Amino acid sequence: MTDRPDTPRSRRERPAKPALTRDSIVGAAVAVLRAEGLAKVTMRRLAQELDTGPASLYVYVRNTAELHAAVLDELLGEIGPAPADGPWRERLERVLSAYTVMLLAHPTLARSALTTWPSGPHYLRLIETLLALLDEGGVAPARAAWGVDLLLQHATATAAEHATQAPSEDWDALRRAVRDIDADHHPHIAAVAEELLSGEPGQRLSWGLRALILGIERTAVPDRHPNPSSRRPS
C-alpha cells in the first residue's frame, strides 16, 4: 500500500538542509538582488530563501547594512585585475570605469554604495590595485591614500546619479531653462549654456577621473591627519 499524496513526511525522511554559512547567506542575497533589486534583500526574505528563521541569520550577519556591504563586496569580485598594458593613468581609469559599470548593472546597489563601506577581500583587493597604480605613477603615499577615497566617491556618485534617472520632462525643462537663460542676469551660464549639458555619460566620467588623478598628483595633503575613527572611507 502506497502513501497518500497528502500524507505528511516524517522529518527523518526529509533531506538534510545544507549547513547555514555566511557565504550561503551572501550568495542568496546576491541572487535576490539580481532578480528583484536591493530593496528585497532583507533578513526576513533571506530566511525564507534559506528555509530558516531570521534570528539564525544574525549569527553570521549583524544587520541589513552589513549584509548590503557584503553583497557589494561579493559583486566587486566581478572586477578583474588592472590591465597590464597602457600608461598607468589609463589603466587606473579603466579599473575605476569597470567599478562604475558594475554598479550601473545594479541600480539599487549603486545608490546604496554611497553609504555602504565593505571590508571584504574583494574591496581590499580593489583598494590595493588603485594604490599600486598610483604608486607606479610616483604619487606620494599620503596623496594616494586620500586620492583613492576621492576617486571611488566620484565613480560611485556617477553610478548612483545615472541609476536614478530623472523623468525626461524634468531633463527637458532643465535644458530649456539653460538654453533660454537671461544673459543679463546670468552671463556666465549663458556663455557656456551648451557645454553645461553636453557630453555622453562615459565622456564625463572619463574627464572627471582624469581631472581628479591630475589633482591628486599635485595636491599635498595636510600635515596633520584627522583621527582615522572620525570618518568612514568611501
Which CATH number covers residue 160? 1.10.357.10
Predicted pLDDT of residue 80: 87
- Measure Cα distances from 189 to 196, 204, 218 in Å: 8, 19, 29
Number of domains within the chain: 2
Q: What percentage of the chain exceeds 70 in pLDDT?
A: 86
Q: Given a cut of 80, is residue 94 above it in pLDDT?
A: yes
Query: Distance between alpha carbon 180 and the CA centroid of its chain, in Å?
Result: 37
Do 207 and 109 lie in one domain? The reply is yes
Do 123 and 147 lie in one domain? The reply is yes
Q: Rounded CA gap, 181 and 173, in Å?
A: 12
- Measure Cα distances from 211 to 30, 96, 128, 219 in Å: 34, 14, 21, 12
Structural domain includes residue 37: yes
| 153 in Cβ contact with 171 (< 8 Å) | no
Q: Rounded CA gap, 99 and 101, in Å?
A: 6
Q: What value does the mean pLDDT take over residues 40-61?
A: 92
> Which of 19-28, 127-136, 225-234 is predicted least confidently?
225-234
Do 42 and 145 lie in one domain? The reply is no
Q: Given a cut of 90, is residue 109 above it in pLDDT?
A: no
Q: What percentage of the chain exceeds 90 in pLDDT?
A: 63
Structural domain includes residue 187: no
Do 219 and 135 lie in one domain? The reply is yes
Range of the domain at 214: 85-165+199-230
Do 24 and 57 lie in one domain? The reply is yes
Do 128 and 216 lie in one domain? The reply is yes
Q: Given a cut of 60, is residue 11 above it in pLDDT?
A: no
Compute the Cα dihedral for 211, 216, 219, 221 and give only its sign: positive
Q: Given a cut of 80, is residue 103 above it in pLDDT?
A: yes
Residue that terminates a domain, selected from 57, 75, 93: 75
pLDDT, one tens digit per residue, over 170-214 is 778 888 899 899 999 999 999 999 899 888 888 999 999 999 999
Structural domain includes residue 28: yes
Q: Can you read off the three cell numbers belonging to residue 167?
A: 523623468
Do 51 and 21 lie in one domain? The reply is yes
Do 36 and 97 lie in one domain? The reply is no
Q: What value does the mean pLDDT take over residues 129-141?
A: 97
> Which of 85-99, 116-130, 156-170, 178-192 is predicted least confidently?
156-170
Round the average pLDDT of the chain to a whole number and report it. 87
Do 51 and 141 lie in one domain? The reply is no
Q: What value does the mean pLDDT take over residues 61-72?
A: 92
Assign 234 a pLDDT band (cuts: 50, 70, 90): very low
CATH number of the domain that 42 lies in? 1.10.10.60
Half-sphere exposure of 9 (CA within 13 A, CB side): 6
Q: Which amino acid is at 229?
A: S
Q: Given a cut of 90, is residue 60 above it in pLDDT?
A: yes
Do 60 and 128 lie in one domain? The reply is no
Structural domain includes residue 40: yes
Assign 47 a pLDDT band (cuts: 50, 70, 90): very high
Predicted pLDDT of residue 16: 59
